[in-house]
Structure 1
Amino acid sequence: MAGKVYLVGAGPGDPDLLTVRAMRLLQSAEVIVHDRLVSPEIMNLVPPTARRISVGKSAGFHTVPQDGINALLVKLAVEGHTVIRLKGGDPLIFGRGSEEAGELAAAGISYTYVPGITAAQGAASSTGVPLTHRGLATGVRYVTGHRARDAVLDLDWDSLADPDTTLVVYMGAANMAEIAARLIAAGLRVDLPVLAVAHATTPRETRMLSNLTQIGADLARTPMEAPVLFVIGRVAGLYETAALPLPRELRGPHLRVVGHG
């Protein structure tokens, strides 16, 4: 009898931000197939009896290509296992969860989505910078800044260059200089604030406050360790007055204010 696959969002990294359902599944896990972006604090919750399979990805390096992950999930389920496919953030927001679900459905494997708090919400909560704010942003858009190998970074720049909308860029550190230049060319002002947050909600969280014209140079001078999320828009200008300090257990060289002021 075939097993079942749970496509589970691990949230932005802080174990306290897991859903109750995700926590319950982790604690009873038989097999966990997990991404690189799942924090070590969350992986520490996995029982020692569970089999762990890492399929982590980083820019330009995939330990297991997506087709291999899809095939692995099907294989494990066909063998009768209950599988937790654990992803950073939410499986349906730049998590490729629907691609994996499609392969499972084609193979006749039962699956269930378990949502997670996405990185943008986690970064907003830990920094104190809202994604929407009356008079500053009437909406928010999530986009990927990832470029597949030598592909062109093909986004609707004119649509994205909306001064009344907060733009959140996932997986964009390697291409942020180009992204910023494209947004400026499409009409956004050069001094529009940009807040970069790495490892949001975890003890490794770092922050950089910059602006569109300088963010590329700032990142080149002071690189940030992935995963990095970028909040672009007038709301990022609230950081200097509304930022939440990091709790005592998270203190360290956490804030670099560069290229802005």
Structure 2
Amino acid sequence: MLVNSSNFHKNSGSSSGYHSRCKACQFKRQQAYKARIPEVIKAREKARYASLDAAAKAAKRARDKKWEDDNREVIRERQRKRANENRADVNAKRRAWAKANPDRIALYQSRAVKNPAKSAERFKRYRMRHPEKVRENSRRHALKIKNDPMLALHSRISRGIRKSLKSGKGGVSWQHVLGYSRAELAAHIQRQFTAGMTWQKFLSGEIHIDHIRPASSFCFTSTADQSFLDCWAMSNLRPMWSADNQTKHAKRLFLI
């Protein structure tokens, strides 16, 4: 039977001049071997790299960089596949990294605060390049919000802040701007639940987050204004039945 020699790696030690296994079979065999002893493989690769001289290391980095530049879509697809197959592990690693690197996150957020226009422009370019991905992410996020009280709370505060600022908040997390976390706000709101209030009713829209002193009574133009911080201070927020909140409108009824 004739076979296409291009499907086989060359092997000078073989009588045929080629390996007995095709390239695809050899690749699968190598991947299975690596999967069995991943830590050993990593240790070998590190040791091999460490044994190289400076010129060889530079050459390898250049080759790796060129391959990455030429195969960005392949890399992204692999990352997406790995993330989808190991979603719980990926999310756990991200949370662990965020917890271990608060300074890095604060640095990123501070850059966004200082350059809101740049952050907005970067996100605009991303939306233009990936419209379908943005829409899919929005649909998936909206579904999560309908079933997760913490996400719903986060979304309502974020949306309320964006609406109260003409220029928006420049892509910066409201938790960084206001100085308290979503968990702290949730605990603060839950402590003020009156008879019959539950997070499920919050999800259904029966409960609103009300400003004790109405937001319309504050005057601010940016997140740096003290009036903005006073308006969105945790002490100025409380849960209120939607019917009562609509009746109250912009009046200050009572303090709690």
Query: Do these two structures clear the TM 0.5 threshold for a shared fold by scoring above it?
Result: no
Question: Where is the helix percentage greater, Structure 1 or Structure 2?
Answer: 2
Normalising by structure 1, report the TM-score. 0.23
Question: Where is the strand percentage greater, Structure 1 or Structure 2?
Answer: 1
Larger CA Rg, structure 1 vs 2? 2
